[in-house]
Amino acid sequence: MASLRKTIASKLKFWLKKKKSYNEVLFFKSIDDPGTPKKDQIFVIGEKNYSKRLILACPDSCGEIIMLNLMPEYSPSWKIRISKNKKISVYPSIDNTNCGSHFWLKDNRVIWAKYIIEK
Ligand SMILES: [Zn+2]
């Protein structure tokens, strides 16, 4: 029972810490040096109509920076869709095997698939 309570407590703590959405999507040219995105930013790197990379801070606040390839000629690659109000959706889901985060991004919102708490 005690361990179950502990598991629930750690899960709760984790859910509170988890990000629900990103606030800002910023666009950079390939030659730019965008630096590191802040917690609530998503960087799209590339030319007009040809996005190359997506950079974002892992939404579970583990501190890791996730970089995704958007060029279909390289594998694995992700697709993005930018809405009129500059919100981003990413396909397929993002699976950060380093920390166990697995989530979808839909209109800047993080939709969690799973999280492996045991490390
Ligand atoms: Zn993480």
CA–CA separation, 19 vs 88, rounded Å?
A: 15
Q: How far is the CA of 96 from the centre of ligand 1 (A)?
A: 7
Least confident of 70-74, 99-103, 111-115: 111-115
Q: How far is the CA of 1 from the centre of ligand 1 (A)?
A: 29
Q: How far is the CA of 8 from the centre of ligand 1 (A)?
A: 20
What's the pTM value of the predicted model, to 2 decimals? 0.81
Q: How far is the CA of 60 from the centre of ligand 1 (A)?
A: 5
The answer to whether residue 74 scores a pLDDT higher than 80 is: yes
Residue 104 exposure: Cα atoms within 13 Å on the Cβ side: 8
Q: Tell me phi and psi for residue 45, to 5 degrees.
A: -110, 135
Q: How confident is the model at residue 118 (pLDDT cuts 50, 70, 90)?
A: very low
pLDDT tens-digit readout, 10-65: 776 666 666 689 999 999 999 999 999 999 999 999 998 899 999 999 998 889 99
Question: How many CB atoms lie under 10 A from the CB of residue 46?
Answer: 17
Nearest to 56 by CA among 40, 70, 71: 40
CA–CA separation, 65 vs 54, rounded Å?
A: 10
Looking at residue 7, its pLDDT comes to 79
